[in-house]
Amino acid sequence: MILDDFLVRAALAGIGVALAAAPLGCFVVWRRMAYFGDATAHAAVLGVALSLVLSTSILAGVLVTSLIMATLVSSLSGRGYAMDTLLGVMAHSALALGLVAVSFVSGVRIDLMAYLFGDILAVGKLDLAIIWAGAVIVLGLMRWRWSSLLTATLNSDLACASGIDPGREQWILTLSLAVVVAVALKVVGVLLIAALLIIPAATARPFSRTPESMALLAALFGAGSTTGGLQAAYWLDTPTGPTIVSLAAVLFMLSSLVGQARARRHAQ
């Protein structure tokens, strides 16, 4: 079967994560929630440690801790601390606690680098099914709430006047973010998940005229980064997760140059 080829499984896994991350990444960029993504992703290490201690599913542990972290950050925001300060404290605290907790797990061989930077080449058929199930869930949530999420992102007062609860839309984003973190852990790892969320969306921005076109282009740039990075890592014998993000960063720089050139041309 075609899925017996580990490179095919890796490519399909990368595309699945890119499709899930694209629309969510657009809202992260529009709402300036980059640190929010970091805090949620860093909590995943703590989820891995707790899963090993409790002998439960790592996916479930990561999903639960990421959701708890995202919910906690949402509830604590605006209570006396600047958002970037709160997110910085919680992100690094969760990562440190997770790494310390992992060190206490005995009798289990832990490939910490795989959790930090991903191990896309080790994706199995079950992992692939989980990744695509997560992608379908996130895309379904985004499709269902797209208009309401856009309105709440644009103006919370306008959203309230339209009968939309901004808090509920924030919770939907929080849930989606936790799902993306859980399924992306195998592909790019804890330290690079936020990059895969933000960079393709930021790359698509100069070429987009509508929110929908930005989400679509972000998905294309994300999928191109994962498949191209996977191929480059295979050729160059480099770490796959960092290579994927490096290619995404190169595309972002090229996109920025194109955007600046267009701005200068329109100014003349």
Centre a 10 Å sphere on the Cβ of residue 72 and count the other Cβ atoms it contains. Answer: 17
| Contacting residues for 118 by C-beta, under 8 A, at least 6 apart | 184, 185, 186, 187, 188, 189, 192, 240, 241
DSSP at 82: -
CATH code, domain with 112:
1.10.3470.10
CA atoms within 13 A on the CB side of 267: 6
214, part of any domain: no
pTM, entire model = 0.86
Q: Provide the CA 193 distance to its chain's centre, in angstroms.
A: 5
259, part of any domain: no
User: Is residue 112 scored above 90 in pLDDT?
Assistant: no
**Nearest Cα to Cα of residue 45 among 111, 104, 95, 108:** 95
DSSP at 104: T
Please tell me the total count of domains within the chain.
1
Average pLDDT, the chain: 83
38, part of any domain: yes
215, part of any domain: no
CA distances from 173 to 50, 162, 179, 266 (A): 24, 19, 10, 36
| Contacting residues for 171 by C-beta, under 8 A, at least 6 apart | 71, 74
Check residue 143 and give left, alpha or beta (phi > 0: left; psi -120 to 50: alpha). alpha
Contact criterion met (CB below 8 Å) for 73 and 86? yes
Range from 95-99, 171-175, 229-233, 260-264 that averages highest in pLDDT? 229-233
Q: Which domain holds residue 8?
A: 2-191
238, part of any domain: no
242, part of any domain: no
Residue 80: pLDDT band by 50, 70, 90 thresholds? low
Share of the chain above pLDDT 70, in %: 91
Residue 214: pLDDT band by 50, 70, 90 thresholds? very high
Q: What are the pLDDT digits (tens) for 176-192?
A: 888 888 888 878 887 78
201, part of any domain: no
Residue type, 154: L
177, part of any domain: yes
